[in-house]
Amino acid sequence: MQELPAFLSERLFAQYGERANEIAAGFDGERPVTLRANTLKRSAQQIKAALQEGGFCFTQPSWYEDAFILHGVREDAVRQTALYERGEIYLQSLSSMLPPLYLGAQEGENVLDMTAAPGGKTAQISALAGGKVFLTACERDKIRFERMKFNLQRQGVPRVSALMEDATKLSEFFRFDRILLDAPCSGSGTLIVGEPMKISPKLITNCAALQKKLLEKGLSLLKSGGTLVYSTCSVLKEENEEAVEFALRRGGCRLDEIAPPKELALLPSMRGTITVAPNELYEGFFVARFVKS
């Protein structure tokens, strides 16, 4: 594990033992380009046909018909297609397609995406409900907020209000049926050996504190019986299990067990939650689902 910062290797070994080597190997090398068919505009079948016509070589994971894995192509080539320009496809990692699937928003519901930019999951939540949910997409950073608005518009997401605000300060006047908290994190699941790594002990500590604050706020904004999905692209317990334990200690909610697709390689994780192992196809990712009492 020479390529990873020493503090990170130590934490991975402390948490995962020998499997830390497998995690480090999962950071070695670029993953293929993956995308999601934007079914607000075109069906997965139509995208499949268009990709075939465009000469793209692709496969699909068994667990999501809207997801495509392109082989032997770089992102730039995809960005130049009319499909991309028209917002009929969206470049998105496979792991990051999981949280909206577990959120399961239904027609007519009020849904909050607490930390939403650049908006990939907001658009996916809408698409999964046939565009029939009422979305609030909150983002604190101005540049990312503008990017999110552009992406949501290009993907034709209906019934969405974009809020440029610190989600920890959202008015207690709001109540939502479902909330996605795809939290800001250290990115410890998405590292690529050879690329600059901004991860540090301080970043992890700061993220862990903010994540707990956001989670507490999210749970307070949830209707009784409502569902909150908490996700990070980190594999560290400080940002994952410890946040879940914090929420459970706080009370008023329970974990709602997640059943992962069979083909996913998983790391040991708190019962009912999933931690996706980083490998040649997937980024490291954590997902937990709460139901409010």
Q: Rule CB under 6 A: which residues touch ligand SAM?
A: 96, 115-121, 138-141, 144, 166-168, 182, 184
Q: How many other C-beta atoms lie within 10 A of the C-beta of residue 108?
A: 10
Min dist. Cβ of residue 60 to ligand SAM (A): 20
Minimum CB distance to ligand SAM, residue 202 (Å):
16
- Residue with Cβ nearer ligand SAM (20 or 163): 163
Q: Give the torsion through C-alpha atoms of 97, 101, 107, 108, to 10 deg.
A: -80
**What is the CB neighbour count within 10 angstroms for residue 279?**
18
Active-site annotation holds for 207: no
Q: What are the φ/ψ torsions at residue 277 (nearest 5 degrees)?
A: -80, 135
Helices then strands, counting H and E runs in the chain, come out as 10, 13
Specify the residue, 20 or 238, whose C-beta has the smaller distance to ligand SAM: 238
- Which of the residues 185, 207, 233, 253 is marked catalytic? 233
Query: Residue 103 Cβ, how far from ligand SAM at the closest point, in Å?
Result: 11
The DSSP result for 166-182, as a single string, is -GGG--TT--EEEEEEE
Per DSSP bridges, beta strands 57-59 and 33-37 are unpaired
- Catalytic site positions: 233
